Structure 1
């Protein structure tokens, strides 16, 4: 399943929200949960993990109107650790949340390249435009300029190219002659020469539609006798390799891509909580049920069972609520 199809899958949502929704009593429940000594974490979980993002935004407006307080700031002052991080993430609108994650990935010393790759490789053209807008509104700076100042070389080039959002123009008609030509160009830019012409790889991977790229990958396999993934692994390295592979994975099957991200976040010692929170929050109203099915294929166990083993307390309860039943 090509990556751009994911956004029309109604059955993919693990969070569907409350029927007969009324933000006023929800805001009151949250206020009571945080008022006085101690916090009723379960009440916060019951409200915020069982509402859609749009409903949460209305609760925040009602909370401010009734109690004169900002809901995000109130939650931050009452909660802590990964549980706080998860609950606060739920309160951001999707584009503001992506903008925040990109900003956090670049601020301070070092850059979390994997976060930038994940977001830019998996979002549609329309979504990227909204993220750029939200980033400017929230941080007063230009996302492209910030990426340029934080990265360099071919890695910078591929990210800037992804920001243009050209590759999801949905042409269902595939020009087979052009797909073969692209496959030949990629082959000539990598396997056939000493060294690699990275610019050709970047241009084709970032500027062609998903349907077209699937045909290119097929033709490349025939021509080179190996998959495009294998060639990328042998021709590139580091963050550039990661970015190229993410584009290919998202093109082939975006649900599997996110399932792999979750699996690597949970397996082994320790948990990559940032990835776990971001993927579950950002996909819960998009395609998390489809991601869960792919996760089971990869891990041989359910996402819920790995969350049960790897997390604890209110954080675990909230994550499991967002994941829904297996």
Structure 2
């Protein structure tokens, strides 16, 4: 994987080892899933799957009893699939997925990680616009975001 190799070349250590040294619990598991880079590249949406996942999200008891399933949904589903799942969740419950995540009592880091995935799935340009705004006082991060998005979608951001 290119980004993992790049991290090792630049910092001389493994990103996965850093994650395990610096994090713990569900947040560590979520980061592990994201670092693996196994998000579904498929651009289509499977409505039946979105409805099934939305139904799973609708039951608070299922969140606690089957957290691995939810980590896999957040870690492996394409962003388009996640967006459709969140729409189906709202249609089913008349409730935003963000509110459900905040009600679950997860650790602060795990909750923030899930909310960032939701934000990215709902609007990629909105996600990066927020990152730009929140890093106005950090020139290094600001430059990295602008350069990395400059030929992709900076105009939309």
TM-score in terms of structure 1 length: 0.44
**1:244 alignment partner in structure 2:** 114
Would you say 1:181 and 2:47 are equivalent positions? no
Secondary structure at the counterpart of residue 289 of structure 1: coil
Instruction: State yes or no: 1:132 paired with 2:27.
Output: no
For residues 118 and 54 of structure 2, the distance between their equivalents in structure 1, rounded to whole angstroms, comes to 14
Residue 237 of structure 1 deviates from its aligned partner by 4.4
Number of residues paired by the alignment? 155
Structure 1 spans left out of the alignment, 5+ residues: 1-128, 292-326
**In structure 2, distance between residues paired with 1:277 and 1:171:** 29
Kindly tell me: are residues 195 and 201 of structure 1, through their superposed partners in 2, closer, same or farther at Cα, counting changes over 3 Å? closer
Give the distance between the partners of 1:204 and 1:187, measured in 2 at CA.
Answer: 14
Pairwise CA distance, 1:167: 1.9
Which residues of structure 2 form unaligned runs of 5+?
A: none
Match of 2:126 among 241, 249, 256: 256
| Alignment partners' CA distance in 1, 2:57 and 2:110 | 16
Deviation (angstroms), 1:194: 9.3
- Which aligned runs of 4 or more in structure 1 are off by greater than 3 angstroms? 194-198, 272-275
- Determine the C-alpha separation between the residues in 2 that align with 1:264 and 1:139: 25
Q: Secondary structure of 2:80's match?
A: helix
- The TM-score, its normalising length taken from structure 2, stands at 0.85
8 A contact 1:166–1:209 mirrored in 2: no
> Partner of 1:239: helix, strand, or coil?
helix
SS in 1 for 2:64: coil
Question: Which structure has the greater CA radius of gyration?
Answer: 1
**How well do the aligned residues superpose, as a CA RMSD in angstroms?**
2.1
Q: Tell me the secondary structure at the aligned position of residue 17 of structure 2.
A: helix
Equivalent residue number for residue 196 of structure 1: 64
Higher relative contact order (CA 8 A, sep 6+): 1
Q: Conserved in 2, the CA contact under 8 Å of 1:265 and 1:273?
A: yes
